[in-house]
Amino acid sequence: MLKIFDTEIISNAEVSANIFKLEVAAPELSQIAKAGQFVQVKVSDEFTLRRPLGIASAKNGMVKIFYRVIGKGTEILSTKKTGEHLNILGALGNGFDTNISGRILLVGGGMGLAPLLSVAEKIEADVLMGGKNKSEVDFWIKEFRAEVDRIYITTDDGSFGSLGFVTSLLPEVLEYDNYAAIYTCGPEIMMRSVYKIAEENNLPCYVSLERRMACGLGACLSCSIDTASGRKKVCKDGPIFEARAVFS
Amino acid sequence: MSERLKTEICGIKMNTPILAASGTFGFGEEFADFVDLEKLGGVMVKCITLKPRAGNKGVRITETPAGMLNCIGLENPGVEKFLIEILPRIKNKMNVIVNISGSSVEDYGELAKLLNVDGVAAIELNISCPNVKDGGIIFGTNPKAAAEVTSTAKKFTSKPVIVKLSPNVTDITEIARSVESAGADCISLINTLMGMEININTWKPTLGNITGGLSGGAVKPVAVRMVYQVAQAVKVPVIGMGGICTAADAIEFFLAGASAVAVGTANFANPAVTMEIANDLENYLASRNLNLREIIGQVKI
Ligand SMILES: Cc1cc2nc3c(=O)[nH]c(=O)nc-3n(C[C@H](O)[C@H](O)[C@H](O)COP(=O)(O)OP(=O)(O)OC[C@H]3O[C@@H](n4cnc5c(N)ncnc54)[C@H](O)[C@@H]3O)c2cc1C
Ligand SMILES: Cc1cc2nc3c(=O)[nH]c(=O)nc-3n(C[C@H](O)[C@H](O)[C@H](O)COP(=O)(O)O)c2cc1C
Ligand code: FES
């Protein structure tokens, strides 16, 4: 059952330049949310559309979201204060499979790490994370530390972890363990390369896609994509897809 | 359900005069968690064409001041799949009004014939989609062609035929009169206004289709004006739409002459908005001890 929740903001703080961590009290939502699902946030009455944001964590009656300020909507969201209320529609989308047996490797770049954190919260996983620089991975390390066994890090400028992209380190990481699957989220070119490497290693690979959305309910077709099994809506049939179905 | 809001348009019994606008409400089911579908006057389902269509490529929507642009491009599963898979699922849950579009006059006739089946309350001829070259806009901007499409559809169906007009014309009343004399049972308006957005960093249009249709609050004054003009010009009932977000907006359309209204873009920000509009409309009427009929077309000039 989908619902509109009136939530209270517990905190909304900048964790790195232009990246915010938003925590809201949402007891029911935090119970029903599955890893990899997202919400549509009503930033204010002045906007015609809600803004889709991934659920990064859902436990103890709280829902955590990480967002980058990139335009008007996220900018106004970043000015919201503790105690203010936020109207949230959710939980939307299919979510990742968390009944899979075996250890999962999470591969995320930038804000793509948000939905992966919600997976780490639920199942056995390691994470390979990439960011622009140290400041863009530091806060993720803090979040993931309690949820995963191993954290592998790359930064574009080499200011922390290995220099380069997650895809340069991925083949090496895959040698350290027998992973059951790769779950990935981040820029689409990154996910495509991750998928290629997963194929070479005969590993199932699931990706979380992003498209502009209006309804978030599968009604308006703003977010349609072609897949191996026909037209799909990212908001309803996704955002999680088998990589093979969308990238090959 | 309140008696005060009950109405009938072209023989279709409606529990409220609030409908859902085509393309914004899927096939109704998507909103079932938020809306009592029977409380809606009807659901104008996503546009159906003879063959399945994939729609436009690239970015399909963007938010604009008090509105949005879309260029979905009539993506739909085609009439056959609609009849076999979708209609049986939804027909007993709501008044199903099927929005149809074709690239020739014959297409409209063929669609009207195929949809002349149990479970379809009415058909709405979309002669106003600005987002595809063959999406009917050529019919919607030419009074003669609009009349031809209307009379052809009428020939092949016993259902009420609603003709949906495009605002992208110089004189809306000319088209309205023309489709009325061709046999339209009802006129709905407005479809989206053609618009465009350019990204100043890339110097490229935001939308994959370059242009798109503007909807939402921003278009409301244009829509109210056109509904007013059309209601003056024709005798058939008018279903008004364009930027309705609240009961107050809806009431403006009734006063301008609409017998019912449809809500589109506002469903995105609040999927339960149609129910709120129905309740607030009821309160407005109750507090003045009025029936819906008593406000339709009552703008004082
Ligand atoms: C399923 C899903 C989950 C997401 N999760 C996150 C997340 O956890 N953290 C995060 O920082 N971002 C996430 N995004 C991207 C986020 O939705 C956009 O950054 C945000 O909508 C931008 O809004 P704006 O008003 O600031 O930007 P503007 O550019 O002013 O927005 C204009 C319009 O474009 C849309 N838009 C712009 N960029 C995107 C984008 N990348 N994806 C989808 N719509 C976009 C907006 O929603 C709005 O309708 C997610 C997107 C999707 C589809
Ligand atoms: C995403 C989207 C898709 C639409 N698709 C259709 C369509 O398939 N057929 C049609 O006749 N109108 C379509 N419309 C137009 C609406 O039905 C309506 O006429 C218009 O949006 C004005 O109303 P509003 O401002 O309340 O949205 C669409 C509008 C939007 C925003
Ligand atoms: S956002 Fe409306 S169908 Fe996906």
Domain presence at residue B300: no
For B5-50, write each residue's pLDDT tens digit.
999 999 999 999 999 999 999 999 999 999 999 999 999 999 999 9
Cross-chain residue pair B24–A42, CB shorter than 8 Å: no
Q: What is the CA radius of gyration of chain A?
A: 17
Q: Which pLDDT belongs to residue A68?
A: 98
- Do A22 and A12 touch, CB atoms closer than 8 A? yes
Per the annotation, the verdict on B129 as an active-site residue is yes
pLDDT at B278 over 70: yes
pLDDT at B2 over 90: no
Which residues of chain A are under the pLDDT cut of 50?
Answer: none
For B285-299, write each residue's pLDDT tens digit.
999 999 999 999 999
- Separation of alpha carbons A183 and A112, rounded Å: 11
Cross-chain residue pair A3–B33, CB shorter than 8 Å: yes
Residue A236 with chain B: CB contacts under 8 Å: 30
Domain housing B251? 3-294
- Do A72 and A129 touch, CB atoms closer than 8 A? no
Q: Which two tokens stand for residue B147?
A: 């009349």
Residue A217 with chain B: CB contacts under 8 Å: 26, 30-31, 271
B228: left (phi over 0), alpha (psi -120 to 50) or beta: alpha
Q: Which of B47, B129, B186, B245 is the catalytic position?
A: B129
Domain presence at residue B12: yes
Alpha-carbon distances of B110 from B50, B66, B79, rounded to whole Å:
8, 38, 10
Mutate to test the pocket of ligand 2, among B191, B246, B277 (most ligand atoms within 8 A of CB): B191
Q: Which pLDDT belongs to residue B136?
A: 64
Q: What is the CA radius of gyration of chain B?
A: 18
Q: Which amino acid makes up residue A38?
A: F
Q: Which pLDDT belongs to residue B133?
A: 63
Q: Calculate what percentage of chain B has a pLDDT beyond 90.
A: 94
Shortest CB distance from B72 goes to which of A2, A49, A221?
A221
Q: Which ligand is nearest to the CA of A216?
A: 3
State the pTM of this model.
0.96
Q: Which pLDDT belongs to residue B137?
A: 73
Work out the minimum CA distance from A216 to partner chain B, whole angstroms. Answer: 8
Q: Which two tokens stand for residue A177?
A: 């363990």
Q: Which residues contact B3 (CB under 8 A, 6 or more apart)?
A: none
- Separation of alpha carbons A116 and A182, rounded Å: 11
Q: Which of A96, A130, A95 has the alpha carbon at shortest distance from A111? A: A130
What is the domain count for chain B?
Answer: 1
Q: Which of A180, A213, A228 has the alpha carbon at shortest distance from A54? A: A213
Domain presence at residue B301: no
- Separation of alpha carbons B237 and B187, rounded Å: 6
Label residue B1 by pLDDT band (50, 70, 90). low
Q: From 2.40.30.110, 2.40.30.10, 3.30.710.10, 2.40.33.20, which CATH number describes the A3-92 domain?
A: 2.40.30.10
Q: Sketch the domain layout of chain A as residue ranges.
A: 3-92, 104-208
Alpha-carbon distances of A154 from A139, A150, A183, B282, rounded to whole Å:
14, 14, 17, 60
Q: Which pLDDT belongs to residue B128?
A: 79
Domain of residue B64, CATH code: 3.20.20.70
Q: B273-287 and B247-256 are packed helices; what angle lies between their axes, rounded to 10 degrees?
A: 60
Q: Which of B285, B217, B277 has the alpha carbon at shortest distance from B247? A: B277
Domain presence at residue B299: no
Cross-chain residue pair B60–A226, CB shorter than 8 Å: no
Shortest CB distance from B61 goes to which of A89, A212, A226?
A212
- Separation of alpha carbons B94 and B45, rounded Å: 11
* ipTM given for this complex: 0.95
Q: Which ligand is nearest to the CA of A20?
A: 1
Average pLDDT of the residues in B99-104: 94
Alpha-carbon distances of B73 from B6, B155, B211, rounded to whole Å:
34, 27, 11
CATH number of A104-208: 3.40.50.80
Q: Which two tokens stand for residue A83?
A: 């105690």
Cross-chain residue pair B269–A218, CB shorter than 8 Å: no
Average pLDDT of the residues in B205-220: 97
Label residue B177 by pLDDT band (50, 70, 90). very high
Q: Which amino acid makes up residue B297?
A: G
Q: Which pLDDT belongs to residue A248?
A: 83
10 Å CB burial of residue B161 (0-12, 13-18, 19+) is buried
pLDDT at B129 over 80: no
Q: Which pLDDT belongs to residue B134?
A: 62
- Do A118 and A57 touch, CB atoms closer than 8 A? yes
Q: Is B246 on the interface with A (CB under 8 A)?
A: no
Q: Which single residue is written with the structure tokens 């996983």? A: A125
Q: Which pLDDT belongs to residue A38?
A: 98
A129 in contact with ligand 3, CB cutoff 6 A: no
